Structure 1
Amino acid sequence: MTRKQARMRRRRIRIAGFCLAGCILILGIVCGAFHHYVSQFPEDKIAENIYVGTVDLSGLSKKEALEKLAGQKKADQKQTVSLTVEGQKAEATLEECGFDYADVKANVKAAMDYGKSGGLFGRYKSLRKLSKEKVVLSPEYTLDQKATENILEERAVPFAKHAQNATITKSGSGLQINKEEIGETVDKSGTIKAIKKHLNDSWDHGSFAMEAKVKEEQPSVTEADLSTIQDELGSFSTDAGGGERWKNLKNGVEKLNGTVVMPGEQISVHDVTAPYDEEHGYVQAGSYENGQVVDTYGGGICQVSTTLYNAVLFSELKVVKRYPHSMLVSYVPPSRDAAIAGDTKDFVFENNYDTPIYIFGEIDDDNQLCFAIYGKETRDKTRKIEFESEEVSTEEPGVKYKADAELALGEMEVTGSAHTGKEVKLWKIVYENGKQVSKDVINESTYSKADKTISVGIKTKNSSAAAVVKEAVSTQDKVKIQAAIGEASSMESSSEQ
């Protein structure tokens, strides 16, 4: 290498060194500028112009951001969604539908971290972007699936033009079948999906309206199903009596009349006939309560269930639940009754045939409360059924005396009737071709005794006379009570002289 070449080489090295130093200097200046810029944004505050949905979180701490979003959620929950079904509107607040922000904490974290992680240049670029345009983080709005389904079931589904099951009626000319009709119902899952899509795609945080999604609904009972109902499987009747109680019997039997029970389906008499109040056609009439006869709404409904119970027995349907009355009733033999009492006693039976059954009920022109069950007869034509009540034990009622401060001194009045207590078995006896083939106990019933209650008057201004009778009543001895009444009457007469 010549001297000239060496000088040129050293010169190039110096120039390259100067260039490198210049680049390093420039890079340092640029990095310093970038660092100075990004360091202006506090680590514990969200940068300016950052939104979650429509909520501006600029300059807020994590706690402040969460509180602001919670306030927005509260306002959002007050908005209503109106769903149209067959021209009818069903409304609910978003709060009722379980509206919520699914990822609010993640959104706040993303807002807090924006421009504060990654390389220096990337952070600078992200933060510089905020001076020109806002950054919007999209929250996910959710609904509680179960709560919204319940709202739709309660408020929207009733408006749909539902499928109509085939029905059957009994008239003088026999059994008539009315054909089924296909209908529509609210597609709850589809409707909820559509509401969520609107919330997350185009919602302006106000109340909104939309068409509910519907789907085809098939009838559960068809003309073909009912075509097998041709035979009377069993029937029973009791005397309907009169008075206010008769109105309850008529109301109850009308609610059960026309019921079609599909194979394997169970029917609760309580669920079909309740609630027992004036609004649903019932009046006050006598019923058993705590060993006494008192007036209650729906009094007499037990005779409806009892009459149907006996028709069920003769039809040989499956009895799922059946309870006796607390005391004996007069309209059927012991153990042939089926009581209804609030949520504690119900008569439930199941269609254990392979084809549907139809329940016909009425109070006929002879004032007989009648039930007949129709279906497809599959039993042997020679089969005959009898039911026999066997009294296992009997407990005769006594007499109970009770002091009554509202009844004049010495007066005696019967205020509670007597009822005999019994334990009874019900036997089912089956004959085929004229011969007994089985005899089985199908229920065991216990009926409580109720003592005859006699109220004894102690109403008088003479407290000593009242005390004499009251003391005698506590002994429950008739002779002592009568003697005390005589003594008290004398005391009362003496005090008046």
Structure 2
Amino acid sequence: MKKSGHSKSKKGNGAKTAIIAVVVVVMVVALGAATFYFANSKNKHSVVAPDGKVLKLTVEQMEAKLNTEVFYTGIKINGIDVSGKSKQEATEMLKGMNIQSSDEIKIAISYNEQTLLLDFSEFGVNHNIEQVVEEAYGYARTGEGQTPEQQLVDRYQKQLLLASQPKDFELSFSVDTEGVSDVVRSVLEPLEQDVKEASVTGFDKENLVFLIEDSQPGVDIDIESAITEVKSAIDNKEYDKVITVSPVIIEPESLKSDLEAAMGKISSTSSKTTGDADRNTNIRLICETIDGLVLQPGESFDFNEFIGKRTADKGYREAGGIYDGALRQELGGGICQPNTMLFHSVVKADLQVDLRKPHSWPSTYVDTGTDATVTWGGANFQFTNTSEYPIAIHAFYADQKVTVEIFGHALQDGMRIEFIGVVNSSSAPTSVEYVADPTLPIGTQSQERGSHNGINASAYKVYYDAEGNEIRREKAFSSYYPVIRARVRVGVLNPDGTVATIDPATGAVITTETTLPSETPPTETPPTETPPTEAPPTEAPPTEAPTTEAPPADA
């Protein structure tokens, strides 16, 4: 056991000896280096001054001059002397002086012999002040040479040279090109111009010509290319560059002279009116309302919407209108005649009819199957200008004659269209409707309405070429006019005040007497005027019309 303990003691003493040896070596090396440096620092080194003189300076002397935390004398930034200033002082001074700004960007655009200066005054400028300050501060703080002494001498010589040859470090700045697009667009977009085709702005009702605004060429500019060039100039610091932009002229497809030559009367429809002054007044009012109306391509006309409700305040008068299969007096009676003239002219102008309804029985002023009724809150007439050009309506009344014309672009190749109606079948009523009337003396009769045949009719568009040859005909509309039985009121009031009855099939009075009540004899309640609903025309076999009362329709 004692032997083992002795062995461990010898190992511990060996380790301590090794550590002491290492420490001694380090101290010797450090002491040697210090001794070398101290000895070397006392040595004088040759430094060549700018004037050629050779200066003898020690390391300490050179380091005392060079090891400073301010800029060396002769250092400038953008022409501004920063000698003796710290990096922070120089940075703050330069930032406060706003050395460069976006006002220095003088990039312009040359357009049609004009020079358009772009405004970059609101742009922020990003200077590289911190970077240049570091670069200027670092000048002569490193030197060339294989030994520290040689490097120090090189630094010192550079620092001496600054006195006669100052070193100026230039700042640069950049502009954020994100806003360049807006600047370029603000200058160029107002110079662009959409091509303007010759267009119709109205219709001269006196001279029957369209009012046409002339065309105007368009101007297109490649703005995107201009933006790219401006950004490139900024990136390349070409702040005085002039960029040439050439417009592209877009010629219009139509000229005023072309429209004037092509536009004219397409169709015209006329018919004689009655001698009823009130009815003719209503017809005249409709003509005056729609006369001169211009519809652009794709625009639609709605009779009831455009004309509005027919009222006495508007000048409409009472005239005959169809109600429950019979004529009666109503405001605006007769306006279906100018509407039918419009319907005909629209068809002959080859425009699209959207909504049309025939009367309860055919009108005498046009072919059967080619009439069009309108009533406020009920039947309506609508069409759309499906041509590629504007159209105008010219409507007038004079001397018991109503005319409606459509003006627009002539039909292709001088073609014209006629509008005709053909009766397919007709069926007369087979009976009379008799109604007992306790207000009439017994046996007397009064016809309330006449009878009308049930008719199926078709309307055709017939196309003719410029020489008057028929090209084709197309079925355009179908109309069904229902059978309307005559209605006769038969008196059933006996002389003694009693009321008889009748045979509804024959109208014969039945002698059975009925005593009238003491109160006022009843009268028929007028029918409720529920607006009709539009039903598409069909060509079903005619049947007798029911005796229930229908809503009114203008005639």
Alignment of 1:235-254 (within 5 A): 235-241=268-274, 242-254=276-288
**What letter corresponds to residue 170 of structure 1 in structure 2?**
K
Residues 53-89 of structure 1 deviation map (CA, whole Å, 9 limit, x = unaligned): xxxxxxxxxxxxxxxxxxxxxxxxxxxxxxxxxxxxx
Equivalent residue letter for 1:354: E
Matched, 1:477 2:506: yes
**Shift of residue 334, structure 1, vs aligned partner:** 1.2
Q: CA deviation at 1:228?
A: 6.9
**Would the aligned equivalents of 1:225 and 1:355 in 2 still touch at CA under 8 Å?**
no
Structure 2 residue aligned with 1:345: 379
Change (3 A) 1:338 1:285: same
Among 157, 160, 167, the alignment partner of 2:202 is 167
Q: Aligned-pair distance for 1:264?
A: 0.8
2:408 pairs with 1:386: no
Structure 2: which amino acid aligns with 1:396?
A: A
1:338 and 1:283 map into 2 onto residues whose CA distance is 21
Alignment partner of 1:436 is 2:466: no
Residues 1:260 and 2:294 aligned together: yes
- 1:68 aligns to what? none
Pair 1:401 & 2:431 matched: no
Q: Which residue of 2 aligns with 1:101?
A: none
Q: 8 Å contact 1:229–1:357 — kept in the other structure?
A: no
Amino acid in structure 1 at the alignment position of 2:380? D
Alignment partners' CA distance in 1, 2:391 and 2:456 = 33
Whole-Å Cα distance in 2 between the matches of residues 439 and 179 of structure 1? 37
Q: What's the counterpart of residue 319 of structure 1?
A: 353
Offset of residue 341 of structure 1: 2.2
| Offset of residue 437 of structure 1 | 2.6
**What residue number does 1:355 align with?**
389
State the 1:169 CA deviation. 2.2
Q: CA deviation at 1:176?
A: 6.5
Contact 1:335 1:444 in 2 (8 A): yes
**Residue 227 of structure 1: how far off its partner (Å):** 5.0
- Per the TM alignment, residue 322 of structure 1 is displaced from its structure 2 partner at its CA by 1.1
Partner deviation per Cα, 1:346-390 (whole Å, 9 max, x = no partner): 1111112211111111102x3210111111214222x24333322
The amino acid that maps onto 2:449 is G
Contact 1:285 1:297 (C-alpha < 8 Å) held by counterparts: yes
CA contact (8 A) 2:205 2:291 kept: no
Q: Is residue 2:243 matched to residue 1:232?
A: no
- Same amino acid, percent of matched pairs: 25
Equivalent position to 2:459, from 426, 429, 436: 426
Whether the aligned pair in 2 keeps the contact of 1:228 and 1:355 (CA below 8 Å) is no
The one of 289, 301, 319 aligned to 1:285: 319
Contact conserved, 1:269 with 1:348, CA < 8 A, in 2? Answer: yes
> Compared with structure 1, are the counterparts of its residues 372 and 434 closer, same or farther at alpha carbon in structure 2 (3 Å cutoff)?
closer
RMSD: 2.8
With structure 1 as the length reference, what TM-score do the two structures score? Answer: 0.50
Instruction: Return the offset for 1:338.
Output: 1.0
Give 1:450 deviation, angstroms: 1.5
Q: Secondary structure at the match of 1:454?
A: strand
Greater helix content: 1
**Is 1:225–1:356's contact at 8 Å kept on the other side of the alignment?**
no
Aligned to 2:337: 303
Structure 2 stretches of 5 or more lacking a match? Answer: 1-199, 215-255, 514-555
| Residues 228 and 375, structure 1, Cα contact 8 Å, conserved in 2 | no
* CA shift in 2, pair 1:385/1:224, >3 Å: closer
In structure 1, the residue matched to 2:52 is none
How many positions carry a matched residue from both structures? 271
Report the residue type matching 2:371 in the other structure. Answer: D
Match of 1:144 in 2: none
Partner of 2:524: none
Structure 1 residues 227 and 434: alpha-carbon distance in aligned structure 2, compared to 1, 3 A threshold? closer
Distance (Å, rounded) in 2 between the aligned partners of 1:434 and 1:229: 20
Q: 1:455 to 1:286 in 2, by over 3 A?
A: same
Q: Which runs of 4+ in 1 moved over 4 A?
A: 223-229
Map of 2:59 onto structure 1:
none
- 1:392 aligned partner, one-letter code: N
Structure 2 CA distance for partners of 1:174 and 1:430, relative to 1, 3 Å: closer
Contact 1:335 1:426 in 2 (8 A): yes
Q: What is the rounded CA distance, in whole Å, between the counterparts of 1:231 and 1:391 in structure 2?
A: 33
CA contact (8 A) 1:328 1:420 kept: no
Amino acid at match of 1:370: T
Give the structure-2-normalised TM-score: 0.45
Looking at structure 2, the residues matched to 417 and 361 of structure 1 have their Cα atoms a distance apart, in angstroms, of 33
Closer, same or farther: CA 230–323 of 1 in aligned 2, 3 Å? same
Residues 1:438 and 1:273: Cα distance change in structure 2 (over 3 Å): same
Question: How far did residue 226 of structure 1 move?
Answer: 8.0
State the 1:174 CA deviation.
Answer: 4.5
Structure 1, unpaired ranges of 5+? 1-164, 181-222, 489-497
- Give the 3 Å change call, closer, same or farther, for CA 445–311 of structure 1 in structure 2: same
